[in-house]
Structure 1
Amino acid sequence: MTSNARKRCTAFPSSIDIHGDSNPGTNSTVIPNEQPTLTEKRCTTFLSSRDLEQDCLLEGNNTPELQHKPSSSLITELPLEPKEHTSATKFQRRPGWKPPHLPISAKRTSAERIDGTKRFASHFPESGSLWAKYKQFTKARGPGKVVLAYEIKSPKVIVAIKECKAADTERAQLLFRTSHPNIVNLQDAFIDERDVYLAYERMDLPLEQLHSDIKLEERHIATICREVLLGLSYIHQQLQICHLSVKCSTIFLSTQGHIKIGGIGSAMLLQHPKQEGRDIKSVGWMMTEIMEPGTAYPNPESILLESPGKWSHDILDFQKNTEHSVSQSSSPYHVFLAIAASSNAGSLVPLVLIAMKNWEA
């Protein structure tokens, strides 16, 4: 049976052609009107799209008919095991082949997490005196003995140093550098006999000083809450610890508008048990401290306000939700956070500059 299928043929030279071309010195004469000599050709026939649509047959009576079937049925009919007369193809399953296991995310223990991190920071924390690297230039302010110092080799690098007396030096081995825009990042740590020194990045003003000098509006409070929640998410999910000391005195601001949670090194040393819900509740307690400082002073762990009518329904509802959240994932996005400024700098920088002048006076 002859098919009208369109064919594309590829001609290959025969051995006669090859031998004939191997004598370049032989003169060949072209005779006019003489039919060219037929050379041996090997043709490969390809089906056109018209053949597939019309279910045509290829040349040759022994060629099976190619039926037009949907792609799903063609895939299911591929042989899974090679037959005796069939060579293995790339569609056939390899003997003993098994699909790869899906990745399973599992929380690592604190020791495993720190070991993995310290592969890149094997000299953290360092042993010896901190003052061999830094030089102090301010006196300690208040409890905790936090002082400012600059790096001797790079005087432009200024850090805030906190001294931890009689700290657990074994737990100090769990310390490591942090990097997050909502955390006062730990940059250095030294173990000097029984004392541990923590060097943090420098911040400009505690939130406690800001709200005591300036009455913050709801949009300012929303911005602060949003940034604090982002910092807590990093602490809970990445560091896998709890802070348990989120309050106005441990939240810091910079003249660039950054809002950060302080004291992360102390949280690493203490290794509090998992109490994520308490960290979320502390955001509501911090709000009470900003909204009604006098009410929060005698009862710092409360969201009860003496004059709730001064505030909108959204801020009161958000504060109530923090009291009932057991973890970061259980506190969905609230409409109150929508009024937070898209740029911290445009919202809080002027207030920070005013409060710094009052603090330094």
Structure 2
Amino acid sequence: MSAQEGTNPKASHNRVSVFPRSDARLKRPLAEPESTVQGTKQGALKLQKQRQGAFTALSKTACNPWGRYRKSFKINQAGRGWVVHANNNTFSEAIIKEVKTTKSELSRVITSPHKNFVELQEAIYYEGAIFLVYEIMDVSLGQIFSSPLGRLQLFEVAAFSREILAGLEHIHKRLKITHGDISSSSILLSVTGAVKIGNLGTSMLQNNDIRDSQSDIESVGNIIIECLEPSTFLRKVGSLVSDWGSNAMNFVESTRTQPASQLLKVSFPSSVS
């Protein structure tokens, strides 16, 4: 997908970008992530250091999760869950999702920190289910698509595609599983512009065969079609119909056969020329 394609007349809405990784001249100003998330730059650096390493220990216990967390309300964050807060002096918020399974499956759940994963903070087994504790995100990509702001521009499509592919490459190469549920609903965003893949804990429990990994990549192509041509997506055509330029159209076709590592070598635009 080339920078030149960002001028396609089909992306007629001249508005600011929702992705801070795109050209700073085209987006609304955002607070510095370290001050927004942690309050200080030192705090952000400390958090980054904590998240380094491929397989950091994850808190896994067998107990009643409702003794540790208090339910606030139900929410759909890449599927149904509960917004909760910790029953301690931190009062920290999270989302809990329940997966019916056996206690032995708890060993499948690990953490592998990556900037494009919704953070899995804890896994708790209780009475025939594992409760997965995730960080709270702000909005799904699907909700962005249906907003009144208008269709995303090509450079924004390239931006979120790259983030999703980076996460999938890690899932496939490091965790050696298939996510199995990549869609605009399972891709989540924060107000600071982070793009993250949701429900990784569920994928670990399902232990989807790595031989099906191409289906994850193909789903990225389907998300692009959903964004640019919603009616084509609903007809399940599987390809872009309108002329978005050869690079964009070839990229979508390549998601049917190429791994994430190969697609990440494509030059993604960062601004409209």
TM range (shorter): 0.7 to 0.9
- Please name the residue that 1:231 is paired with: 167
1:125 match: secondary structure: strand
In structure 2, what is the Cα distance between the partners aligned to 1:127 and 1:272? 24
- Please name the residue that 1:147 is paired with: 82
Pairing of 1:153-302 with structure 2 (within 5 A): 153-164=88-99, 166-213=100-147, 214=149, 215-274=151-210, 275-299=212-236, 302=237
Pairing of 1:1-361 with structure 2 (within 5 A): 120-121=57-58, 124-141=59-76, 144-164=79-99, 166-213=100-147, 214=149, 215-274=151-210, 275-299=212-236, 302-306=237-241, 308-309=242-243, 311-325=244-258, 327-331=259-263, 333-335=265-267, 337=268, 339-340=269-270
TM-fit CA distance, 1:117: 5.0
Aligned-partner residue type, residue 134 of structure 2 = Y
**Is the alpha carbon distance of 1:171 and 1:298 closer, same or farther for their aligned partners in structure 2, counting shifts above 3 Å?**
farther
Measured against aligned partners, the alpha-carbon deviations of 1:144-195 in whole angstroms (never above 9, x if no partner) come to 431211112144521111112x324322221123321100111111110201
- Please name the residue that 1:99 is paired with: none
Aligned-partner residue type, residue 68 of structure 2 = K
2:95 match: secondary structure: strand
In structure 1, what is the Cα distance between the partners aligned to 2:113 and 2:175? 11
Higher RCO (Cα < 8 Å, 6 or more apart) = 2
**Is the alpha carbon distance of 1:154 and 1:258 closer, same or farther for their aligned partners in structure 2, counting shifts above 3 Å?**
farther
- Please name the residue that 2:51 is paired with: none
Contact 1:189 1:199 in 2 (8 A): yes
TM-fit CA distance, 1:312: 2.5
TM-score (norm 1): 0.55
Q: Which structure: greater strand fraction?
A: 2
Contact 2:166 2:264 in 1 (8 A): no
CA RMSD of superposed structures (Å): 2.2
| Overall identity of the aligned pairs, in % | 27
1:137 match: secondary structure: strand
Measured against aligned partners, the alpha-carbon deviations of 1:47-87 in whole angstroms (never above 9, x if no partner) come to xxxxxxxxxxxxxxxxxxxxxxxxxxxxxxxxxxxxxxxxx
Specify every segment of 5 or more residues in structure 2 that has no aligned partner in the other structure, as ranges: 1-53
Specify every segment of 5 or more residues in structure 1 that has no aligned partner in the other structure, as ranges: 1-115, 342-361
In structure 2, what is the Cα distance between the partners aligned to 1:236 and 1:207? 22
2:121 match: secondary structure: strand
Aligned-partner residue type, residue 192 of structure 1 = Y
In structure 2, what is the Cα distance between the partners aligned to 1:208 and 1:176? 27
**Is the alpha carbon distance of 1:250 and 1:141 closer, same or farther for their aligned partners in structure 2, counting shifts above 3 Å?**
closer
Contact 2:166 2:260 in 1 (8 A): no
Measured against aligned partners, the alpha-carbon deviations of 1:95-151 in whole angstroms (never above 9, x if no partner) come to xxxxxxxxxxxxxxxxxxxxx958x45xx4210111111111122449943121111
Contact 2:226 2:233 in 1 (8 A): yes
In structure 2, what is the Cα distance between the partners aligned to 1:276 and 1:242? 5
Contact 1:246 1:279 in 2 (8 A): yes
**Is the alpha carbon distance of 1:261 and 1:142 closer, same or farther for their aligned partners in structure 2, counting shifts above 3 Å?**
closer
Name which of structure 1's ranges 275-284 and 220-229 shifts more when overlaid on structure 2. 275-284
